[in-house]
Chains A and B, each alone.
Chain A
Amino acid sequence: MGQVKSNDSNWAENQARNTRQLAVWTGAWVATIAIAAFGPKLLWDYNPVLSVVAVLASLGVGFGMVRVNGHYLQGLDELQRRIFLEAAALTLGVGMVCGLAYELLDDIKLITFNPEISHLVVLMSLTFMGGMIAGQRKYQ
């Protein structure tokens, strides 16, 4: 009850398989992002057709990763899901508040460089990792 895959014989094995699938899809998505980012300059000399294909591939694999992440979340037990969701909520809040403040710094000319989306991604990644670690410690 309450388990998406409760009819499967080995819950731990299912979870390990979901984790592996998520790792594979995440790795594939990072690879497609890297190809779309560096391919135009290094591989196909800014050919627009190939660039569009690379971006579409990145989007396709990215949405696949989101779907697999949903399966992963559903496969967690209720405590793990709570820890995950608390970390995700923290990440969303920090990302939105800090992201908007960061953009504002540029708009009101308090910083001399352009805000990069990658800075926000790094902040959100670190926040999520911190949230997960804090959650694991909280329920130890």
Chain B
Amino acid sequence: MKNRLKVLRAEHDWTQARLATELEVSRQTVNAIEKGKFDPSLPLAFKISRLFGQPIEQIFQDESES
């Protein structure tokens, strides 16, 4: 799954550590999600969605659809 997490983080001028603190996960988890190595659970995806004020489908895209 592709995502715009890195872009959104850059728009807020946040470090991975800051985003990890906001999401209550480790920095490694933020890094793995940004690199597409790990797909977050639905609850975490919703948390990211709420944090950035955008719908989930605008942050995460299924690669098979693109």
Contacts and interface: CB of A to CB of B under 8 A. Distances in A.
B35 to A, nearest CB: 9
Interface string A115-140: 00000000000000000000010111
Name the prevailing secondary structure of the A interface residues.
Answer: helix
Chain A contact-residue range equals 10 to 19
B28 A140 contact: yes
Contact of A1 (B21, B26, B43): B43
Contacts, number: 43
Name the prevailing secondary structure of the B interface residues.
Answer: helix
A140 B31 contact: yes
A26 B11 CA distance: 44
Interface of B: 21, 24-26, 28-29, 31-32, 37-38, 40-41, 43-44, 46-47
